[in-house]
Chains A and B, each alone.
Chain A
Amino acid sequence: AQSVTQLDSQVPVFEEAPVELRCNYSSSVSVYLFWYVQYPNQGLQLLLKYLSGSTLVKGINGFEAEFNKSQTSFHLRKPSVHISDTAEYFCAVKGYSTLTFGKGTMLLVSP
């Protein structure tokens, strides 16, 4: 079975500060990992994904994530956030037929 734990439900941060959103997973099949972003009243948009190869994955909007197999983690980072990054972020792992999502982390960026 697959599961995803997002350790923080909310992360408040000031504009231009760095941020890390934490994600731990468990999976009994191949490890394919994803981060999605959701703005209010919208669908989810893919930020980045890890399929294989380099453990550091770069995505859109300056985000990156690091796959750590021994820690079963896939944390999302951005070195300097903008107000426009305020949104909910979801980590997901691919299972036999579907993606399993975490409960989400709300990133709140203030001036």
Chain B
Amino acid sequence: DGGITQSPKYLFRKEGQNVTLSCEQNLNHDAMYWYRQDPGQGLRLIYYSQIVNDFQKGDIAEGYSVSREKKESFPLTVTSAQKNPTAFYLCASSADGSAQRGYGYTFGSGTRLTVV
């Protein structure tokens, strides 16, 4: 079945370490997204990519980096510059991210990152 796989489901890291969250989709979707979720704050956009080898910053990109070398993959690195990295991270994809199209998102099951 087609879908989005995020791994790992739980991740623990020491403060000051970089960590990479994996996101893979087999839906043949062009666009992919990373959101951060904190209690009571909804979903906040970190980065998104409309096409391979291109990506844009979202509302809270500081302290994060991404790459989009393959259509299926959009890994997120949480760097030591991110001041408060403990959160639930959600990856999503869409067949077409443009405003003219009404495609919604398909979400992965999330990665819960805890930094100690």
Q: Mark A residues whose CB is within 8 Å of B.
A: 9, 29-30, 32, 34, 36, 41-46, 49, 51-52, 90, 92, 94-99, 101-104
Contact = CB atoms under 8 A, between A and B. Distances in A.
B56 A42 contact: no
A36, A92, A98, A99 — which one has the most chain B CB atoms within 10 A of its CB? A98
Given A41-B112, A43-B110, A51-B102, A97 B90 contact: no
24 contacts: A34-B104, A36-B107, A43-B4, A43-B90, A43-B109, A43-B110, A45-B107, A51-B102, A52-B102, A90-B43, A94-B99, A97-B97, A97-B98, A97-B99, A98-B33, A98-B45, A98-B97, A99-B104, A99-B105, A101-B35, A101-B42, A102-B42, A103-B40, A103-B41
Nearest to B43: A101
Interface in B1-18: 4, 6
Interface string B72-116: 000000000000000010101000011110101111111010000
Interface of B: 4, 6, 31, 33, 35, 40-43, 45, 48, 50, 56, 58, 88, 90, 92, 97-100, 102, 104-110, 112
Candidate in A29, A30, A94 with the most chain B CB atoms within 10 angstroms = A94
A95 to B, nearest CB: 7
Dominant secondary structure of chain A at its interface with chain B: loop
A99 B104 CA distance: 8
Contacts of A51: 102
A44 B42 contact: no
Given A30-B99, A97-B99, A98-B48, A43 B107 contact: yes
A94 B45 CA distance: 13
